[in-house]
Amino acid sequence: MPTMHRLVSFSLQLTKFLLLLPILLCAPGYAQVTSGSIFGSVKDSSGAYVPNAKVTVQNSSVGLLRTVTTAEAGYFVVTNLPPGKYTIVVEAARFKKLENTDVILSATDRLNAGDLVLAVGAVVESVSVSADAGELQLQSNSGERS
């Protein structure tokens, strides 16, 4: 019977190992993450959060452009960004455009861009230009005008 007991014990250990093997093989994959994220908030000059502001994150060296909109509380998160140098552009109605250049993101970073403060902008004027089409005179090859 000792042989049977060893066989059952070995069988149970082998089963446990085979069940844990996929988990052990997947674990190194988590260390391979090479993307980061940039987060922050958008405020006006009085300190109030600006909802629905357009935040664009650009890495021109790899041709990456991502745009998100701030939440009601003025915060934003841009995820799955490869490491590199970024420019953050923030635009909102009635505010001047804000550009933050040379933002360096390393692999696996969760970079806090901080509070991005927008200055109040001037009211944009709209000019509409129209012209009447004048009378068109046609001239044939024979020199006649119509």
Q: Indicate which CATH number applies to the domain containing 107.
A: 2.60.40.1120
Residues 6+ apart with CB under 8 A from 70: 41, 42, 49, 50, 51, 52, 53, 55, 76
Using the predicted structure, report yes or no on whether residue 128 has a pLDDT greater than 60.
no
Interval 57-116: pLDDT, tens:
999 888 999 999 999 999 999 999 999 999 999 999 999 999 999 999 998 899 999 999
Q: Quote the domain boundaries for residue 7.
A: 1-32
- Core vs surface per residue 65-97: b (16+ CB within 10 A) or e: eeebebeeebebebeebebbebebbbbbeebee
Is the pTM higher than 0.85? The answer reads no
Interval 6-34: pLDDT, tens:
666 766 676 766 666 676 666 555 556 68
The answer to whether residues 46 and 114 belong to one domain is yes
Give the number of domains in the chain: 2
